[in-house]
A = this chain, B = another copy of it.
Amino acid sequence: MTMSKGFRYGLAGLAAAVALSAGPAFAQDTEAAAEAASTVASPDVQYIFNTLLFLIGGFLVMWMAAGFAMLEAGLVRSKNVSMQSLKNIALYSIAGIMYWLVGYNLMYTGVDGGYMGSFGTYAFDPVGGDALDVGYSTASDWFFQMVFVATAASIVSGTVAERMKLWPFLIFVVVLTGFIYPIAGSWQWGGGWLSEMGFSDFAGSTLVHSVGGWAALAGALLVGARAGKYEGGKINPMVGSSIPLATLGTFILWLGWFGFNGASQLAMGTIADVTDVSRIFANTNLAAAAGVVATTILLQVLYKKVDVTMVLNGALAGLVSITAEPLAPAVWQALLIGAVGGAIVVFTVPLLDKLKIDDVVGAIPVHLFAGIWGTLIVPFSNADTSYSTQLVGIVAYGVFTLVVSFVVWFILKAIMGIRVSAEDEMIGLDKAETGVEAYPEFSRG
């Protein structure tokens, strides 16, 4: 039917409007359903909806890999843009292979309250598989979980950009995506000890973002700051080569986050589940919006200029903050959680510089600090959780990831070196390691 009278009605008239627009069949069915008390979808329809949620959520989160690539390509100097592009597509690829080879089972199979699952490759459903028992296609679940581990790895690449060699970075990604992330993840999402203790992290403020952030921090400490960054007792700005690409990256990440948080509901085969997914979309969007607004106002007040790269990171910090609990908060709570996330960026980016920790894209404030904040604040809106247990989880993930990452980076440094030569750093990683300049016709020198 064409809707010649516009497509919206006042809320007051909505129930009537729906009955009307859906036609008599709907009304009739509603009645019939009320009589039969059977408004729940059949198991196979639920299975299809749940699987579809994983597939849609999965491709949205996969798209975040492009978001990180663009964000980082925009925030590094032009002489390192090809390398940053290469690292990002390579890490996404490695994540997928490792998560099939060992990660998925290590995270989800036979954890049983413990500290890790079992080893071995993961087998998808057979062709034409029609087992109803788990309520969704396991391949769709694998796909959805796989893009999460890629996200964690993406976080690392930004922090250590512009001086980390290609191959040690890729080997670290192998270990991170095949072992560190899955083992850590098993503690909570695999049904391990933290899950039994009552820790809560809905979509991964800690399990994904802080884990990536801790691994990045360890790398930053061992690889050291970029040449000249903290020379002469000053903090020398090394500005990004393309703000629109960084902006594009941020928008991509924001879009992907609807999959990240929304599909972490893990089901949409019932009214309650799909309603919760909707609520998560709204809260996720508003927390990011609050991150943007808070950052913009703070920057104006503090510096009289609104540094757009800070605002972009403010959006991302809002998103990371709401990720531990995007469902329970009322809107005002979601806004508050996101706004504080944005403020964290404004205050901690300079702090890292003071500590001479050189985080090229601001990934540690955004993913680690805002991730801690988001995880800690869960009990603010979710009464089933406690601040103390949240703290236990945060500390456990921090200690484990930081220590193991440090050891891995340390071994890589000892064996093959993790930093390019001073000369290569000066001419840029693009020429030195990829042989391809990102903008051969534009760049100065």
Question: Which A residues between 39 and 57 are near B, CB-CB below 8 angstroms?
Answer: 39-49, 51-52, 54-56
Within the assembled complex, what's the spacing in Å between the Cα atoms of A111 and B17? Answer: 14
Within the assembled complex, what's the spacing in Å between the Cα atoms of A15 and B327? Answer: 24
**In the complex, are the beta carbons of A124 and B40 less than 8 A apart?**
no
Pairs A–B under 8 Å by Cβ, sample size 24? A2-B384, A4-B385, A6-B189, A6-B194, A10-B109, A10-B110, A12-B109, A18-B134, A18-B136, A29-B40, A41-B48, A47-B271, A51-B277, A59-B281, A66-B248, A66-B255, A86-B296, A89-B250, A89-B311, A90-B293, A140-B278, A242-B439, A243-B436, A309-B436
Most chain B CB within 10 A, of A3, A54, A195, A276, is at: A3
Question: Which A residues between 54 and 80 are near B, CB-CB below 8 angstroms?
Answer: 54-56, 58-60, 62-63, 65-66, 69-70, 73-74, 77-78
**In the complex, are the beta carbons of B311 and A269 less than 8 A apart?**
no
Of A91-99, A219-227, A346-354, A358-366, the one contacting chain B is A91-99
A425 within 8 A of partner (CB): no
Given known pairs A48-B49, A278-B139, A384-B4, the reply for A22 and B200 (CB within 8 Å) is no
**In the complex, are the beta carbons of A6 and B191 less than 8 A apart?**
yes
Most chain B CB within 10 A, of A33, A244, A275, is at: A244
Number of copies: 3
A369 within 8 A of partner (CB): no
Given known pairs A10-B110, A130-B272, A248-B70, the reply for A443 and B440 (CB within 8 Å) is no
Most chain B CB within 10 A, of A56, A200, A303, A439, is at: A439
Within the assembled complex, what's the spacing in Å between the Cα atoms of A264 and B384? Answer: 38
**In the complex, are the beta carbons of B54 and A56 less than 8 A apart?**
no
Q: How far is the CB of A273 from chain B (nearest CB, A)?
A: 8
Q: How far is the CB of A24 from chain B (nearest CB, A)?
A: 10
Task: Please indicate the chain B residues that have their CB under 8 angstroms from the CB of A85 in the complex.
Answer: 243-244, 246-247, 308
Within the assembled complex, what's the spacing in Å between the Cα atoms of A54 and B170? Answer: 37
Task: Please indicate the chain B residues that have their CB under 8 angstroms from the CB of A46 in the complex.
Answer: 22, 26
A21 within 8 A of partner (CB): yes
A355 within 8 A of partner (CB): no
Q: How far is the CB of A145 from chain B (nearest CB, A)?
A: 8
Task: Please indicate the chain B residues that have their CB under 8 angstroms from the CB of A162 in the complex.
Answer: none
Q: How far is the CB of A23 from chain B (nearest CB, A)?
A: 7
A267 within 8 A of partner (CB): yes
A211 within 8 A of partner (CB): no
**In the complex, are the beta carbons of A59 and B60 less than 8 A apart?**
yes
Within the assembled complex, what's the spacing in Å between the Cα atoms of A395 and B128? Answer: 31
Within the assembled complex, what's the spacing in Å between the Cα atoms of A268 and B49? Answer: 10
Task: Please indicate the chain B residues that have their CB under 8 angstroms from the CB of A438 in the complex.
Answer: 242-244
The 5 A-B residue pairs with the shortest CB-CB distance in the complex, in nearest-first order: A8-B189, A66-B251, A18-B135, A93-B289, A4-B384
Given known pairs A66-B252, A251-B65, the reply for A137 and B279 (CB within 8 Å) is yes
Task: Please indicate the chain B residues that have their CB under 8 angstroms from the CB of A93 in the complex.
Answer: 288-293, 315
Within the assembled complex, what's the spacing in Å between the Cα atoms of A65 and B255? Answer: 10
Closest B residue to A310 by CB, please name it.
B436
Selected contact of A441 from candidates B48, B241, B300, B308, CB within 8 Å: B241
A198 within 8 A of partner (CB): yes
